[in-house]
Structure 1
């Protein structure tokens, strides 16, 4: 436990805030795998539930904000690209849902 005390000793409140954001972002991003695993176990085959993409987008956006704060160009590029993929999948989900609504048939 003393390693954490040493780790955060002398850390400003702004840095602590961003570390909190970073840890929360990583937890959000990691939760998507738990959601996918549980959904796949329920149906006994590999599936990607809609919630996976929302966790991906939220966690990715938070991690991108953290990466920008840290000024890490590798991390920024990776998260920015991922956000485009997550947003596109969410867009497809919304389009598909809207197509199924009455009055929106092709």
Structure 2
């Protein structure tokens, strides 16, 4: 019984990651790695600061990985990915805009 499940899992993994491997699968995997890197960036920044922080690089990794994942979803015609990443990417871009806007205000305050 266990051997049958092991063989079925092996067949599934082979089918998903080897038999169907193409440019778009590689692109999607890179997109997911880029997106996941944001957590590593945030963790390192928080460790350096000694408290929880969300650095600008977190938002750029979110936006880049999100856009790449959105492209992947569009090409693969995956509505779940398209809907999720389209909305999320808008949020990432808006956060970057707010950070830039507030940095501009902070520098103007310091100039006075």
- Partner SS, residue 31 of structure 1: helix
What corresponds to 2:57 in structure 1?
A: 51
- Are residues 1:26 and 2:32 paired? yes
TM-score by length of 2: 0.76
Gaps of 5+ in 1: none
Gaps of 5+ in 2: 1-10
TM-score by length of 1: 0.80
Q: Per-residue displacement from partner, 1:39-68 (whole Å, max 9, x unpaired)?
A: 111122111011000000000000000011
- Are residues 1:70 and 2:76 paired? yes
What corresponds to 2:91 in structure 1?
A: 85
Label 1:7 to 1:49 Cα distance change in 2 as closer, same or farther (>3 A): closer
1:5 is displaced (CA, Å) by 8.3
1:94 is displaced (CA, Å) by 1.7
Distance in 2, matches of 1:6 and 1:82, equals: 26
More helix by share: 2
1:93 is displaced (CA, Å) by 1.6
Q: Per-residue displacement from partner, 1:23-82 (whole Å, max 9, x unpaired)?
A: 110010000000000111112211101100000000000000001111111111000010
